[in-house]
Amino acid sequence: MVVSTGSSEREGWSSRSAFILAAVGSAVGLGNMWRFPAEAGENGGGAFVLFYIFCVLLIGLPVLLSEVLIGRHGQASAPESVRRVARDSKAPEGWSVLGSMGVFAAFLILSFYCVVGGWVVYYIGVFLSDLFQTGLSGGAFAGRPAEEIETLLPGLFGNGSLMVGLNLGFLAVTMFFVARGISSGIECVAVYLMPMFFVLFLGITIYGAFTGNFGDAVTYLFTFDFSKLTGEVMLAAVGQAFFSLSLGVAGMMTYGAYASRETNLGETSGIIAGADTAVALIAGLAIFPIVFAAGLSASAGPGLMFQSLPIAFQAMPFGSLIGLLFFTMVFFAALTSSVSLLEAPTAYVFEKFKLSRPVATVIVGVGAAVLGILSALSFNELADFRPLALIPIFSEANFFDALDGVTAKLFMPIGAILTCIFVGWVADAKLIDDENGLDGVLHQVWRALVRFVCPIVLTLILAAGLFPEWFAKAMSELQQGFAVVFG
Ligand code: TRP
């Protein structure tokens, strides 16, 4: 559908539900099924998870609404939308930097996201070939020793050219849909793939809950141990919340720009955040029972989902078929997200340089391919390359981890802080009220969160995460202070 914006005719979502599906599709992805369990495991479980939920409700949701609202008012790419809100509020148009920074970060994320997308494709291939060899009844997976299945991922990591090939393949599929535009490309993936995703996902989780170590997983994920909540854990949790909700880096501004005036943005933001968080928690409950039952390490990092689940599939009847369905579903979810990551920079490039959408897609795609190759090679050829050796919290990171860390722990929180200041203090209050679709108390609460709570809490978390020793010292002094005061 074409939405009239006064000055020009531009593409938009064909309905409210198409917008919701596309936005949920952007949010739900590898962030939920791959990154969330890995981060939870690396950051000690319960403290991370509960702080993550706190971040989604108190920070993620208000920022999400702020972003779609900027996009919907601006009806343009992220930098231009911010500029228009600033212009209509008689504020400095230099605020558009907020959008430009986001577009750049989305581009960085896209590059390594497609590397992980490539791993998903590899597993689809593994299960498919298994099915062909042995038929439906179980596949060669059944009965294979767990150790052998665990070596699949290291095997893939060791093969640089295969990693690069899969990465480029995944990126090419993403480019195909973005080049086709909103209604015949992006919306099409979301409207067909997201419902299929939810059906498959629920089926597999229910199945998994009955076979693994469910109780241990619940304890691990939901037991809050205050002493484990360090500055690093808090920053990791807030970064994960933003990554999962596609926030802080222009993604949701870009999608909001295709929303029509009739869409209630407050309500829509609630649906997006609710669905995304539910999927992350369910993914955790599906993956950790298997991790514990199989004696794997919870802190295995990026390999967690790829190593734990195939072990469970191997023990199930029809294991290869279930494995194939599962990874196909992850592929769908990843694709609806990578499409949104590519759309943010592409929309900017075609608008700014007056190019056609397909040409802009190719330009951004080629850039992402170059960076993606470096990420794919960080698991083999470039394993010892430490691009950010000088920055303490990233000193151990290879190229892939560095991009992931810098975007989630710097770009996203900083982008979100600026978004809150912009929406809460700079933009015209009347303009914001007209867009947000909230009334009464909810409106007041949202406004207070955006103006005060989010920017302050985010700044503190950012400081605590970047200077963990400082934070630990401050906390222990605070504790001593309490001890003195309360005897
Ligand atoms: N939210 C997606 C996921 O969880 C990833 C993603 C898609 C994203 N678009 C984004 C992250 C924009 C940041 C910004 O997999």
Q: Is the CB of 243 under 6 A from ligand 1?
A: yes
Distance between CA atoms of 178 and 341, rounded to whole angstroms? 10
Helix (H) or strand (E) holding 66, with range, is helix 61-74
Cα 90 to ligand 1 centre (Å): 32
CB distance 345 to ligand 1 below 6 Å:
no
DSSP string, 125-154: HHHHHHHHHH-TTS-TTTT--HHHHHTHHH
For residues 446-457, average pLDDT: 97
102-130 pLDDT, tens digit each: 999 999 999 999 999 999 999 999 988 88
DSSP string, 281-320: HHHHHHHHHHHHHTT--TT-GGGHHHHHHHHHHHHSTTHH
What confidence score (pLDDT) does residue 289 get?
A: 83
Q: What is the CA radius of gyration of the chain?
A: 22
DSSP code string of 378-395? TTTTTTT--TTTTSGGGT
Q: In 3D, which of 61, 171, 37 has the Cα closest to residue 419?
A: 61
By alpha-carbon position, which residue is closest to atom 8 of ligand 1? 246
Q: What average pLDDT does range 339-350 have in this prediction? A: 97
The pLDDT of residue 294: 77
Q: How far is the CA of 486 from the centre of ligand 1 (A)?
A: 45
Q: Which run of H or E residues covers position 3? A: strand 2-4
Per-residue pLDDT tens over the stretch 251-260: 999 999 999 9
296 C-alpha vs ligand 1 centroid, how far in Å?
27
| pLDDT greater than 80 at residue 25 | yes
Which residue has the least CA distance to atom 13 on ligand 1?
246
| Ligand 1 touching residue 208 (CB < 6 A) | no
> What's the pLDDT band for 67 if we cut at 50, 70, 90?
very high
pLDDT tens readout for residues 122-166: 999 998 888 887 766 655 565 677 788 888 999 999 999 999 999
pLDDT at position 416, please? 98
Q: What is the pLDDT of residues 424-442, one digit of tens each?
A: 999 999 999 988 888 889 9
Instruction: Tell me how far the alpha carbon of residue 141 lies from the centroid of ligand 1, in angstroms.
Output: 32
The pLDDT, as a whole number, for residue 249 is 95
> Counting Cβ atoms within 10 Å, is residue 451 exposed (0-12), middle (13-18) or buried (19+)?
middle
- pLDDT tens per residue, range 194-236: 888 888 788 777 776 777 678 888 999 999 988 889 999 999 9
Does pLDDT of 82 surpass 90? yes
CB 383, CB 397: distance < 8 Å: no
Burial class (CB in 10 A: 0-12, 13-18, 19+), 54: middle
| pLDDT over 60 at 336, yes or no | yes
**What are the start-end ranges of the E strands in 345-467?**
none
The better pLDDT of the pair 58, 475 is held by 58
Q: Would you state the pLDDT for residue 225?
A: 86
The residue ranking higher by pLDDT, 435 or 361, is 361
Q: Which of 43-57, 206-220, 279-293, 460-474 has the lowest mean pLDDT?
A: 206-220
Cα atoms found within 13 Å of the Cα of residue 319, Cβ hemisphere only: 21
Instruction: DSSP for 210-256, please give it.
Output: TTS-HHHHHHHHH---GGG--HHHHHHHHHHHHHHHT-SSSHHHHHH
CB 377 within 8 A of CB 160: yes
Which residue from 313, 308, 306, 311 is spatially nearest to 297, judged by alpha carbons?
308
- From the CA of 252, give the closest atom in ligand 1: 12
Residue 74 in this model has a pLDDT that exceeds 90? yes
Q: Could you tell me the sign of the dihedral formed by the alpha carbons of 278, 280, 281, 283, in that order? A: positive
What does each C-alpha distance from 123 to 120, 175, 246, 285, 292 come to in angstroms? 5, 21, 25, 21, 22
pLDDT band at 9 (very low <50, low <70, confident <90, very high): low
Residue 251 Cβ inside 6 Å of ligand 1? The answer reads yes
Would you say the CB of residue 340 lies under 6 angstroms from ligand 1? yes
Contacts of 284 (CB under 8 A, 6+ apart): 36, 37, 40, 49, 217, 221
- Orientation angle between helical segments 357-377 and 319-352, nearest 10 degrees: 130
Q: What region, left, alpha or beta, does residue 354 occupy, with left being phi > 0 and alpha being psi -120 to 50 degrees?
A: left
Given ligand 1 and candidates 35, 341, 346, 348, which is best to mutate, with the most ligand atoms within 8 Å of its CB? 341
Question: Which pair of structure tokens corresponds to residue 284?
Answer: 């955790």
The answer to whether residues 455 and 424 touch, using CB atoms and an 8 Å cutoff, is: yes
For residue 34, the ligand 1 atom closest to its alpha carbon is: 15
- Please give the mean pLDDT across all residues of the chain: 90
Which of the four pLDDT bands, split at 50, 70 and 90, describes residue 5?
very low
The pLDDT value recorded for residue 142 is: 57
Ligand 1 mean position, distance from CA 243 (Å)? 5
Quickly state the pLDDT bin for 13 (edges 50, 70, 90): very high
Indicate if ligand 1 lies below 6 Å from the C-beta of 256: no
Give residues with Cβ within 8 angstroms of 134, minimum separation 6.
Answer: 140, 320
Asked whether the beta carbons of 335 and 174 are under 8 A apart, the reply is: yes
Is 30 a pocket residue for ligand 1 (Cβ < 6 Å)?
Answer: yes
Residue nearest atom 4 in ligand 1 by C-alpha distance: 31
Give the pLDDT confidence score for residue 143 in this predicted structure. 62
